[in-house]
Amino acid sequence: LTLMRELPRAIAEGEMFLQYQPKVHVRRQQIASAEALVRWQHPVRGLILPGDFIAVAEEAGEIAALTLWTLRKVIVDQRVLAGEGRDLRLFINISGLLLADASFVAEACAIVRATDAKLGFEITETAVIRDPDSAIRHLQSFADIGVELAIDDYGAGLSSLAYLKQLPAKELKIDKMFVLQLTSSNRDPLIVRSTIDLAHALEMEVTAEGVETPSALALLSVMGCDMVQGFLISRPLGFDAFRKFVAEDG
């Protein structure tokens, strides 16, 4: 309850900050893009992770404000990277509630149209299920202005093949629950391989999340997984550390 009351102040007074976690292209061995993850540096409670405040922000009616703040910040950071010759696409996470919020969509579209920054949105299919027609229409309007869409946490929630077929997404991210024990489980490799094949048949690129070990990376490479993300490559990094990481990436 208190976190809920504190959110507007936290957003306004700069207590939120972003970390970036790279996604690496397996064959090219190069950074393909990165995901922005929001954190709350609370003056009393210390660092709060999104698992503890995104749902609160949704309930408090603050998720649109938080996401627009994130979008603006990511655009600034993307322009800095582009200015340094590293024109990487930066992805932000979009809560499902916002796909039904026409005023959020209009404002976000206006912000995106006003910049050349390469941007992407990560969305879960569960997000789309609330009101599929309007969600798909809104996602299409983002795709039309150059925002790449990635389906997040695939396999973990309500992964409907009907929506997968209709969404204008270029990338499918396999949830880390299938990747963390990839090389010690009997079933996970079967699920991951068939998901990679399905995504490729639908002409989507596949990212595996939660890649923590060289053996998982090696198996994903054999399976034809396009991109990997996880602690093996990098933890989420503050912007300055992320810039250094990018600069060292040949």
Q: 192: helix, coil or strand?
A: helix
Kindly state the smallest distance separating residue 221's Cβ from Na ion, in Å: 22
Site size with ligand G, rule: CB under 6 A: 23
Q: Binding Mn ion by CB under 5 A: which of 62, 125, 148, 153?
A: 153
Q: Binding Mn ion by CB under 5 A: which of 6, 62, 125, 152?
A: 152
Give CA–CA dist 158/139, Å, rounded: 18
- The strand ranges marked E within the chain are 16-25, 30-42, 46-48, 89-93, 119-124, 148-154, 171-174, 205-208, 227-228, 237-238
Q: Binding ligand G by CB under 6 A: which of 101, 188, 205, 209?
A: 209
The partner residues of 37 in beta bridges, in order of sequence, read 19
**What is the total residue count of the chain?**
250
Binding at 111: pick from Mn ion, ligand G, Na ion, none (beta carbon under 5-8 Å per type): none
Q: Could you say whether residue 6 binds Mn ion (CB under 5 A)?
A: no
Binding at 101: pick from Na ion, Mn ion, ligand G, none (beta carbon under 5-8 Å per type): none
Q: Is 84 exposed, middle or buried (0-12, 13-18, 19+ CB in 10 A)?
A: exposed
DSSP 225: -
Return residues touching ligand G (CB under 6 A): 21, 37-38, 49-51, 54, 67, 70, 92-93, 95, 152-153, 176, 180, 209-212, 230-231, 236
Return residues touching Mn ion (CB under 5 A): 152-153
